[in-house]
Structure 1
Amino acid sequence: MSPKKINFDKQVDRLGTYCTQWDYVKDRFGESDLLPFTISDTDFEVPVEVMEALKERMNHGVFGYTRWNHTDLKSSITSWYNTRFQTYINAEDIVYTPSVMYGISQLIELLTNKNDGVIIQTPAYDAFFKIIQASGRKLIENSLIYQNEAYTIDFKDLENKLAAAHNKVLLLCSPHNPTGRVWSKEELERIVLLCQKHEVFIISDEIHMDITRYDNQHIPITNFDYQHVAIATSGTKTFNFPGLIFSFMLIPNQELREDYLTILKEKHGLSSVSIMGMEATMAAYNNGSDWVDQLNDYIDDNYEFACDFLQKKLPDIKVVHSQATYLMWLDVSELGIDMSIIQDKLIKEGKVAIMNGAIYGGNGKEFLRLNIGCSREKLIDGLNRMYRALKNLE
């Protein structure tokens, strides 16, 4: 029996829901009447199975302190990894974290001292910069190589950075935001071997793991024979419920795992979790595989539509070859116009909000990041607004 077709074309009015992307677009772009394609959540409703689980729990009427450390949650996660990534996960390695970035920040503090270096591959998710700098660690950039609308790792530079005694952690983004790279098995093996050689710990942000283009397959960093790794991830990005606050980490190293749990429970008092976030996660991982398959197909179609539109209407904007995420990375360098002018035209003339790539470091100042996790109708409207704003640039 074929799965029920999901209507991702449905448009949901998010205004008036305290929505960061829609209600607070003025905070970042200076105007409120803009069509947003900004932060990385989607405009899609959660799967029906998730809604049913949330309604059932809501109807119970009591929302007391809640445990995360139980078989129902852990088995939903291990089953998901087994089904989607053909990966065995030891249930004992699973720990709760309220958000991916909270978990990463705590691991950095456990694994490093003040002024130690944390390596990131730029351009990179802007929150990486913030948590490293706020913790008093040194941000070390391993800039990715950009060529022919694609990114690769500069392994020579990476090894030089790993070899420096004060650099203790590689903060990997896999799949990579904002470039959309799915790191190959060969690339990941090489990263692991270099980190093993230089005794550098790998923290891998894998929150975009489920959204991959076509035949590309995400490989969890725990698949490799190296114990000094940890994964921080969540179902919230995939199934669109970040507002329910629930993420988790995989920490194979027992001592590090216990140290983290001590901080979580005793230092920060976070032993109880969001019951709605946990219920949503279990329902999504137990019942959401077909939904994710259809989501990927829809985003693939959005990606192809946007590529075709830009090639025909704005050929000087080059699309970086995307293998993952619902974020498009657009090279605007051939427009020959400063990003401040591009943004001004998009905002003032197009009435559209698209992220300025400069905040992601590296060569990001020559890029826009466009969120295509939305209905086709909204995407068409946004692309037409972009065209009206940029068609006559001189």
Structure 2
Amino acid sequence: MKLGINFTLPNGQLLKSKHYIKDSGMEINFAALVRAKLMFSLKTINFRAAGPITPPECVRFDVEIIFDNEDHDGQMSLVLEAEPYKLVCNGDKNYITDNKIDQILRSILNILVILICSASLMLCSRAIYRAQLLKELTVQFFRRAYNKELSWDGRLEFLNIWYIMIIVNDLLIIMGSAIKEQIERNQFTNDQWNVCSLFLGLGNLLVWFGVLRYLGFFKTYNVVILTLKKAAPKIFRFSFCALLLYAGFMFCGWLILGPYHMKFRSLATTSECLFSLINGDDMFATFSIMSKKSPMLWWFSRVYLYSFISLYIYVVLSLFISVIMDAYDTIKQYYSEGFPKSDLQTFIGEPCIEEVSSGLYRTQSSSSLNAMMNSLFCCNFYRSAYSKIGGGGSNLNIL
């Protein structure tokens, strides 16, 4: 078998890698080769003629080719990895910039997104902070007035999960927009689009989840949201039990069927195969790929696959759906008979819209700009307002 890599040098001389290695004093037994790694760098210029940015980009690719012959089965696996790095272009870099307006508009958009998300982040953080102050005052009021602790459900009334999700998506979008702006200004030495897309993608996902909050104002959509909220604790407990069974099947299949089935060669591929079987995907191929070299393991694979598919499709998934349907029936019953109240809701009662807007809960305020700024950024205003709830003679030191 002839081994070697041949290429021509700029002067026309033919370079043979096998002779080069031999002349360099390196003795390599290719028949006993286990693993080899070839590393080199390539430089190129990207003119980006069809892109939104006309300046050329100088890029260096650090290429790594891995030859893996650990199995010694006559087949050598190849892995090629190329990592790009941006360089500073030297030489004649004169170019025509006909899209200055587009660049300015993109920068304005990025800055505007960052400012809006920053304002949303501060307002939601302020709302959560004020709610926790009010919770501490309420806990102390229940201790002093009723000589009991506020229940866990009552404490959760002061924690708005929607605000926490908004804070997280604001942080993600701010970081993604900042990275995007720096990339467009060529302030990064290597490509950070993967990190940028990760932040922006997750932030966008949470933004669309937040739209569900506004659908909750409609009764029809609110039933779905309340059903998911009601079923969430049971779903988590049920999923934990199902995950233990799943882990047992996964390790069993990997240990026993790994040498004979390509879909069970590793834990990752085993988990992917079992998850696809739960959804009824590629069942026949999973059965037929199994090697018949060992009749005992061939029959075991049949029993193993039939047991897993039957258990998860006919039992686990059915119970999972029944848990959600039970929560849905409970929410429907609450709509007809009334929702259960926590001790905090019982204390507040059910004021109608007219009672809330009648001025009973209205505090003194000022229309001046100074008062508005104090209400937004100063905590002294909240201390004076909340002290009315806690009582003037109490020794509450919340702030």
TM-score, length-scaled by structure 1: 0.21
Larger RCO (CA under 8 A, 6+ residues apart):
1
Q: Give the structure with the larger helix fraction.
A: 2
Q: Give the structure with the larger strand fraction.
A: 1
